[in-house]
Amino acid sequence: MQQLRHPIRLVTIWLTAALPAAVMLCAPTALTAQSVAVGDLGAGKLLVARETDRRFAETVILLLEYDNRGALGLTINRRTDIPISQALKNAGGWPEPVYLGGPVETTAVFALLRSRDEQEGTQRVIDEVNWVTSKEVLEKMLAEGPSKGASGEPTGGASEKPGAGAMHVYLGYSGWGAGQLDYEVKSGSWYLFDGSADLVFDSDPGTLWTRLKARTEQRFAYQTVSPKLLPAK
């Protein structure tokens, strides 16, 4: 893990609070997103730490950028107990807790917005998940507070304010230099999954790693069971 040398879009805001550091077999079509191949790396993929990697024990990371210069991602299953409104200046009215996005530059603030449309100052990562890349846009969203809409519902229009739960804020990030993440995947440190808005904005992120890990075990069990034991079509 290292700080990336190539330019990345960081948004930094001063912090005002100290932060704490037996399953049924599934059909293979439900598990095809899981991979261990370097060729499947890319923005929008989820990195699910394997049990052999102690550095990222039980970690799930959403890749925001991946190219020949390196990679950048956010840990999406490390939610704290500190509300955004207490952790950051000028973030009035946000009840959602902040997330620990990674060990690099822990005073850097990132935000993911659940929106059907790509809004100004954001970059689409996957369907309904936008990365807020503009400092001005993020500061405005934080200052205005959430809309009064249903919590967790994606925003609709390109200028609609996000409701509580439709924006996650992360402190710090995970970064890899050129070829570093490729090496880790080849070495067996990560499983790869297709990302989705439902996973990124999961209501129980503390169990997300366990649930995704269970999918890899289900797939392995399906592939190793004798065809004679499978039900006839």
pLDDT > 70? residue 59:
yes
Strands 97-100 and 167-177: parallel
Token match 């932060």: residue?
19
> Is 43 contained in some domain?
yes
Query: What are the pLDDT digits (tens) for 11-56?
Result: 544 444 445 443 333 333 343 447 889 999 999 999 999 976 677 8
Within a domain: 226: no
Query: Which residues is 171 bridged to in the sheet?
Result: 100, 109
Exposed, middle or buried, 74 (CB in 10 Å: 0-12/13-18/19+)? buried
Q: What is the CATH number of the domain that holds 98?
A: 3.40.1740.10
- HSE at residue 40, side-chain half, CA atoms within 13 A, is 17
In a domain, 122, yes or no: yes
| Structural domain boundaries enclosing 163 | 11-17+30-206
In a domain, 76, yes or no: yes
- Does residue 222 fall inside a structural domain? no
Q: Residue 220 domain-assigned?
A: no
Summarised one tens digit per residue, pLDDT across range 89-110 is 888 788 899 999 999 999 999 9
Counted domains in the chain: 1
pLDDT at 67: 96
> Does residue 3 fall inside a structural domain?
no
Both tokens of 208, joined, read: 């997300």
